């Protein structure tokens, strides 16, 4: 049986924004006619804000926090709790001190079920403030990749991956998106769509697990437009 798994941010919605209406109507119909699952590093509140309640309820299951907090319709199926170790917390605060990026924008450590998201830029009531500047900065300086590698070197028991365009997802080893495959079988034909499938991206482990175990196909997409183009091929 075909099962479709989608990352959210950058795959079916613009980064950190709500789903575009012209794609929303198409994707909602697709959800009603197919077995659709969502997996995202964000929490339930942010996911609902981005995709809307109709899609959230219509999907077979929504895996928030990289699979550590799962919902069917609006019922919590399971939740894995994890406390950020104090030495990791101190290390992240040191990264803030030593970063040369000049802008700061609210909370830098967002605690979620099963992990945290760390951002040098930070998050406040205006999530777009400073984003373009940091994205450009990070492309030139590779700051997030450097921080991620340093975290893994100092704390090998962590799972660390670049999440979205400004953050880093951090959790216990194994708490990445690939953990959701415990709910699927090798008889399933999985089609996974993500925008961060490259090594170090937070879609990478799930994509590689699907391909390596011959469970299906992984599509590395640029945005929701490319996702739609590929999905239209399944309707013919």
pLDDT for 228 beyond 60: yes
pLDDT in tens, 21-56: 999 999 999 999 999 999 998 899 999 999 999 999
Write down the residue that tokens 């959800």 correspond to: 31
In this predicted structure, which of 117-126, 128-137, 145-154, 196-205 has the lowest mean pLDDT?
A: 117-126
pLDDT for 125 beyond 60: no
Residue 63: what pLDDT?
97
Residue 164: what pLDDT?
78
Confidence (pTM): 0.84
Residue 123: what pLDDT?
75
pLDDT in tens, 139-184: 999 999 999 999 999 999 999 998 878 999 999 998 899 999 999 9
Strands of the 167-172 sheet, one edge to the other: 107-112, 115-123, 167-172, 158-163
Cα–Cα distance for residue pair 173/154, rounded to 1 Å: 13
Per-residue buried b or exposed e for 199-234, using 16+ beta carbons within 10 Å of the residue's own CB: eebbbbbbbebbeeeebbebbbbebbeebbeebeee
CATH number 3.40.190.10 is the correct assignment for the domain at 2-80+176-233: no
Q: Calculate the CA 119 to chain-centre distance.
A: 14
Domain boundaries, the chain: 2-80+176-233, 86-172
Residue 127: what pLDDT?
62
CA distances from 23 to 26, 37, 138, 227 (A): 5, 17, 29, 10
Contacts of 29 (CB under 8 A, 6+ apart): none
Residue 236: what pLDDT?
62
Cα–Cα distance for residue pair 11/9, rounded to 1 Å: 6
Q: Token pair for residue 34? A: 């197919």
Residue 165: what pLDDT?
86
pLDDT in tens, 78-108: 999 899 999 999 999 999 999 999 988 888 9
Of the two residues 131 and 222, the one the predictor is more confident about is 222
pLDDT for 129 beyond 80: no
pLDDT for 130 beyond 90: no
What is the share, in percent, of the chain residues with pLDDT greater than 70? 97
What's the mean pLDDT in 231-236? 86
Architecture of domain 86-172: 2-Layer Sandwich (3.30)
Contacts of 111 (CB under 8 A, 6+ apart): 84
pLDDT for 1 beyond 90: no
pLDDT for 126 beyond 70: no
**What is the CB neighbour count within 10 angstroms for residue 100?**
8
**Contact (Cβ atoms closer than 8 angstroms) between residue 73 and residue 60:** no
Residue 214: what pLDDT?
94
**Contact (Cβ atoms closer than 8 angstroms) between residue 160 and residue 168:** yes
């Amino acid at each position: 049986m075909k099962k479709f798994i989608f990352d959210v941010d950058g795959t079916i919605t613009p980064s950190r924004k709500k789903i575009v209406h012209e794609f929303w109507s198409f994707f909602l119909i697709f959800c009603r006619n197919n077995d659709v699952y969502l997996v995202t590093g964000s929490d339930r509140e942010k996911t609902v804000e981005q995709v809307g309640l109709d899609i959230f309820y219509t999907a077979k299951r929504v895996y928030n926090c990289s699979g550590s907090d799962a919902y069917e319709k609006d019922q919590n199926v399971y939740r894995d709790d994890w406390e950020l170790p104090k030495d990791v917390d101190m290390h992240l605060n040191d990264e803030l001190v030593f970063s040369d990026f000049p802008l700061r924008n609210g909370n830098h450590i967002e605690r979620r079920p099963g992990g945290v998201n760390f951002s040098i830029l930070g998050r406040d009531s205006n999530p777009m403030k400073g984003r373009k500047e940091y994205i450009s900065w990070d492309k030139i300086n590779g700051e997030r990749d450097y921080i991620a590698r340093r975290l893994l070197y100092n704390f090998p028991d962590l799972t660390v991956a670049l999440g979205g365009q400004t953050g880093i997802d951090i959790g216990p080893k194994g708490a990445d998106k690939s953990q959701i495959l415990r709910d699927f079988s090798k008889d399933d034909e999985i089609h996974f769509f993500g925008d961060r499938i490259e090594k170090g991206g937070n879609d990478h482990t799930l994509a590689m697990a699907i391909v390596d175990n011959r469970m299906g196909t992984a599509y590395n997409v640029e945005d929701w437009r490319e996702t739609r183009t590929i999905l239209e091929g399944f309707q013919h």
